[in-house]
A and B are shown apart, each in its own frame.
Chain A
Amino acid sequence: MSEPITDDPEKWHLRLYVAGKSDRCTKAVANLERICEEHLAGRYTIEIVDLLERPQLAKGEQIVAIPTLVRQLPPPVRKIIGDLSDEERVLIGLDLRPRP
């Protein structure tokens, strides 16, 4: 999606689990890309996993809800479910903003 910048020590790797091209999933992808551009420009990668194509991947990260965003890097792993329409809560969930 976006080119990682290798010399930045704080690399972000985000994985978004979707199921097909439903409105909700398309919205989640768009929201994620926008938020990342705004707050993590230049230091993130996004991986989209479509469980309709690769259903066996759901078990590995205990995915139940769709869409689910998983922060792979930096540790620790964080999970956010939903279409990511509430930017504030996405930022909190990603630890980009302190919890209220």
Chain B
Amino acid sequence: MRGLDEVLNGGLPSGRATLVAGGPGCGKSLLALEILVRGYEEFGEPGVVLTFEETEQELRDDARSLGFDLARLEAEGGLAMDYIEVERDRIEQTGEFDLEALFIRLQLAIDSIGAKRVVLDTIEVLFAALDDTAVLRSELRRLFRWLKERHVVAIITAERGDGGLTRHGLEEYVSDCVILLDHRVTDQLATRRLRIVKYRGSVHGTGEFPFLIDDTGFSVLPITSLDLDHPASDDPVPSGVAGLDAMLDLGGYYRGSTVMVSGAAGTGKSILAAHFAAACCARGECTVLLAFEESPAQIVRNLRSVGLDLARYLADGTLRIHAGRPSQVGLESHLLRLYKLVDEFEPRNVVIDPITDFHGQGTTLDVKAMLMRMVDLLKRRNITGLFTSITPATGAEDPIVSSLIDCWIQLRNVELRGERNRSIHVVKSRGMGHSNQVREFLIDDAGIRLLDVALGPEGVLIGRDRPKAGET
């Protein structure tokens, strides 16, 4: 499963029991189910589900929303399900009993397909149905021992409790691995998080990992992979604007580096970003553009007015525009979307326009963590990333972001004597020399064009102060 093995440092403990605990609706059953489905699909290990809360048909329906066809797995012998219905009010209890019939049913299901994985979802329903908790507890102990003896990977789901991890203290019996799922809403945004609480005999990523459930199942985002060990390429990637390339000693950005273009509204950030994307596509490099402010059609139309034809690259598949309001989904979802786009298209370049739209999606810390992981993801795959950033009216740059950035280009509106002119300069460019000049640039129907520096007696001349043609 995407990310979970990484978080668990290799996967679930083999031949042991894992407890998945969480509140209602946090995805316990789906996680357990996906582990079974993937176990069969990817490792050829059949699995058994003993379901206590939902019927077999309900489980099939649930799984369909994740894109899993349980009926097919059942037909292939990859899955066996048994719905165990215990209704308290129809059962009278007199004298001693045990849960041997449950063992017999489980054994039957395991034997029917040679199962290697077993899900018990949610066995604590038994606590509601049977009064004799002493018997129940000793039988559960016996059950987990029994599972261990059979060397099956067992996944037991349990409701989150107030006092302990689970309502009925199941963690006492399942001591090998406990995965806690959490679904919380902060500032009207729901995020799902996963935490490994206990994992004997192995290291695992600590802390909370965001996860997402969508039509392809679970995705967990490990944070631990933030070791700084990504490759460093020497190859240049042209910025798409010849004049800007000339300001960078390399003749462009480093491949796999992270570039930020910042500036106030209307300084031409998106256009500069589009130049970059178009130049990449023109070289046949697959490029992904994540846009948060305009629809793809609007982007294409607007850029046509500055001479950039993105429609061509959209048509031939080199460009992929993914547009959406940032608040549609939580921060984690943005990261996951990027993960998925990167997996799917294997782009060499990614443009995000603008990253400042993430603010307000979480705390500053959350946003920084997510940007860091985005940068990390791109660097790991040697993908060149270009982010635009809207400078607030106060002019203060975002220090949390700038430390993540390798190359920082700043665009400005210079207002002077009734004229607004645009300027561009390189704030920093790690690993290469760069021009220290502030250059004026124009945006016309051929896009961004840097003007030659015109020097007057008191420094650089811009706008109407420039000498007219033939005057120099």
Contact = CB atoms under 8 A, between A and B. Distances in A.
Given A56-B108, A65-B130, A89 B92 contact: yes
Contact of A64 (B92, B94, B96, B126): B126
Contacts of A90: 92, 94
A48 to B, nearest CB: 14
Contacts of A78: 90, 92
DSSP class of B's interface residues: helix, strand, loop or mixed?
mixed
A84 interface: yes
B85 interface: yes
A64 B95 contact: no
B99 A86 contact: no
Given A65-B99, A68-B101, A79 B108 contact: no
Contacts of B101: 17, 19, 51, 58, 63-66, 68
A83 B97 contact: yes
A85 B94 contact: yes
Interface of B: 82, 84-86, 90-102, 104-105, 107-108, 126, 130
Interface residues of A, number: 33
Interface in A72-94: 77-86, 89-90, 92-93
Contacts, number: 92
Given A64-B86, A66-B97, A58 B92 contact: no
Which has the most chain B C-beta neighbours within 10 Å: A24, A62, A81?
A81
B82 A83 contact: no
A78 B95 CA distance: 16
B138 to A, nearest CB: 13
Given A65-B130, A66-B98, A80 B92 contact: yes
A62 B82 CA distance: 10
A55 B108 CA distance: 7
A55 B105 contact: yes
A16 to B, nearest CB: 12
Contacts of B93: 80-82, 89
A17 B108 CA distance: 16
B94 A52 contact: no
Nearest to B136: A65
B98 to A, nearest CB: 6
A51 B100 contact: yes
Nearest to B111: A55
B213 to A, nearest CB: 30
A89 B94 contact: yes
